[in-house]
Amino acid sequence: MSALDILTSDTTDLRFPSGFRWGTATAAYQIEGAATEDGRTPSIWDTFSRTPGKVHNGDTGDVAADHYHRMPEDVALMRRLGVTDYRFSIAWPRVQQTGRGPAVQKGLDFYRRLVDELLNAGIRPVATLYHWDLPQELENAGGWPQRETAQCFAEYAGIMADALGDRVGTWTTLNEPWCAAFLGYGNGVHAPGRTSHLDSLRAAHHFNLAHGWAVRALREALPDTSEVSLTLNLHALRPLTPSADDLDAVRRIDAVGNRIFLDPVFHGRLPDDLIRDTAAITDWSFVRDGDLAAASTPIDSLGINYYSPTVVAAGECESPSPWAGAERHVRFLPAPGPRTAMDWPVDAGGLYELLTRLRDDLPGVPLLVTENGAAYHDYSDPSGRVHDPERVSYLHSHLTALHRAIEAGTDVRGYFLWSLLDNFEWAYGYSRRFGIVHVDFASQRRTPKESADWYAQVIARNAVEGRQEG
Ligand code: GCO
């Protein structure tokens, strides 16, 4: 039975709320290419991907999926899918060459063209201001551990709101500040490749500050009807055993991996246990009066990126560890279950756990699943078709869990599938394919996979098939 047969069989459809937003997601450095075109200057990922040994096969985002030149074709693909929304990111180095000062009009023009193409296709643009591509000049000046970077980010946010605020209704300040702070400055597996727990904590705070200042800049420039958001990759944590030590391991990672952002942004405070856990690294004196009030400037929704759960137990972290204040106390264990090509377990229950936690912890905050999807080693058959039943199965199980969370009272307004296109998967280069559209990177030919057809049916029906009848 093909994936499409499942949808047309006699099943009990799991219907999503009327007006539910169905989207796809991408990021500038992962798909655009044109890395030196129209004034774009290097980001930390241009530098990092050119550093020997940092990215699989020495791959870079120089060409990627050549979206900068093929954007109309990619929007047409989304139109055929029937998506209501498209989550993309804006390359800061395309807009401000040094991260400061006047905007580059040709850079702004690309995003104006993209937004107009989307609107003409009846697709709602959802703009992310920062998806990890910090202008290298700002990194040279100290990067996110430096407070000034947050000030520059707020200026950039204002420029983008002035340029696109009349046409873009949903804005996300940051994508996954945890990855940018702890993988970029903690264990160095992401750009800029620095390894200092103090710097990762400073970066995390300055991301919270940058987010708050950017929200204020956006509010000043945008129509009152605009939606301002933040996207976090919160960790769905499970203890290996119910022992006190393993439960404390969960607490530690929840503090440094989740509440380090949730508490400042939604409560205007730092978690007390995080301050205790990190006392050997910092006294947090870089947090100034007013910073947490700024960080907690109200937003309209929270985006959640989810892929798989995390199992922890008392013990020592693998090294080099990104986990400031936890590395001597926490072990990470492989969660059971089938794996994706990222070796991530397929476990939709973690999405349900995360969403219902936020239902209880953040009552009244609308949620968006801003990323969910899976990489598999896809195979194009001789006719060019990509039969990807594992991806369909992953998506089906996670949409079922999402539906269950909504039924349980969680206010989730939309789902953005990661990703529209096969793209540059950071340190994995092009070796991992997350797209529902296959990209032949030699020819740049796009081929919708079977999962794209399946997703188009889900969108058309606003439902995912439930249990079989009888
Ligand atoms: C992330 C990023 C994406 C990744 C995707 C798969 O969540 O890490 O937002 O850019 O490519 O998640 O790892």
User: pLDDT, tens digit, for every residue of 417-455?
Assistant: 999 999 999 999 999 999 999 999 999 999 999 999 999
CA of 42 to the centre of ligand 1 (A): 20
The protein residue with its alpha carbon nearest to ligand 1, atom 6, reads 425
Mean pLDDT of the chain: 96
Torsion sign (Cα): 309, 57, 133, 141? positive
Section 155-176 average pLDDT:
98
State yes or no: is 176 an active-site residue: yes
CA of 418 to the centre of ligand 1 (A): 8
Torsion sign (Cα): 19, 24, 28, 29? positive
Q: Among all chains, which residue has been given the structure tokens 């990890």?
A: 132
The atom of ligand 1 lying closest to the CA of 233 is 7
Section 19-45 average pLDDT:
98
The superfamily (CATH) of domain 3-458 is: Glycosidases (3.20.20.80)
Q: Is 128 exposed, middle or buried (0-12, 13-18, 19+ CB in 10 A)?
A: buried
CA distance 82 to 122: 9
The atom of ligand 1 lying closest to the CA of 27 is 10
Question: In the chain, what percentage of residues exceed pLDDT 90?
Answer: 93
Which of 233, 305, 306, 439 should be mutated for ligand 1, with most atoms under 8 A from CB? Answer: 305
What is residue 1's predicted lDDT score, i.e. its pLDDT?
Answer: 46
Going by pLDDT thresholds of 50, 70 and 90, the confidence category of residue 163 is very high
CA of 429 to the centre of ligand 1 (A): 12
Q: Among all chains, which residue has been given the structure tokens 């009244």?
A: 364
The protein residue with its alpha carbon nearest to ligand 1, atom 1, reads 176
The tokens of 24 are what? 């796809």
Q: Choose the catalytic residue: 117, 327, 371, 465.
A: 371
Which of 172, 176, 234 should be mutated for ligand 1, with most atoms under 8 A from CB? Answer: 176
CA of 59 to the centre of ligand 1 (A): 16
CA distance 233 to 370: 9
Q: Choose the catalytic residue: 32, 117, 139, 176.
A: 176
**What are the CA-CA distances from residue 302 to residues 176, 292, 309, 370, 393 (Å)?**
11, 18, 19, 9, 26
CA of 239 to the centre of ligand 1 (A): 24
The protein residue with its alpha carbon nearest to ligand 1, atom 4, reads 425
Residue 370 three-state SS: strand
Assess whether pLDDT exceeds 50 at residue 6.
Answer: no
Question: In the chain, what percentage of residues exceed pLDDT 70?
Answer: 97
Section 305-323 average pLDDT:
93
CA of 307 to the centre of ligand 1 (A): 9
3-state secondary structure 452-463: HHHHHHHHHHCE
Enter the pTM of the model. 0.96
The tokens of 356 are what? 């219902």
Assess whether pLDDT exceeds 50 at residue 88.
Answer: yes
Q: How many CB atoms lie within 10 A of CB 225?
A: 6
Which of 26, 131, 426 should be mutated for ligand 1, with most atoms under 8 A from CB? Answer: 426
Torsion sign (Cα): 446, 452, 453, 459? negative
The protein residue with its alpha carbon nearest to ligand 1, atom 11, reads 425
Assess whether pLDDT exceeds 50 at residue 469.
Answer: no
Q: Over the range 91-117, which residues count as b (16 or more CB within 10 Å of their CB) and which as e?
A: bbbbbbbebeeebbeebbebbeebbeb
Dmax (CA) of the chain: 65
CA distance 198 to 144: 12
Domain ranges of the chain: 3-458
Convert the pLDDT of each residue in 106-153 to its tens digit: 999 999 999 999 999 999 999 999 999 999 999 999 999 999 999 999
Give the alpha-carbon dihedral of 397, 399, 401, 403, to 10 degrees: -140
What is residue 468's predicted lDDT score, i.e. its pLDDT?
Answer: 54
State yes or no: is 390 an active-site residue: no
Convert the pLDDT of each residue in 241-278 to its tens digit: 999 999 999 999 999 999 999 999 999 999 999 999 99
Q: Which residues line ligand 1 (CB under 6 A)?
A: 27, 30, 175-176, 179, 233, 305, 371, 418, 425, 434
Structural contact between residues 304 and 364, judged by C-beta atoms closer than 8 angstroms: no
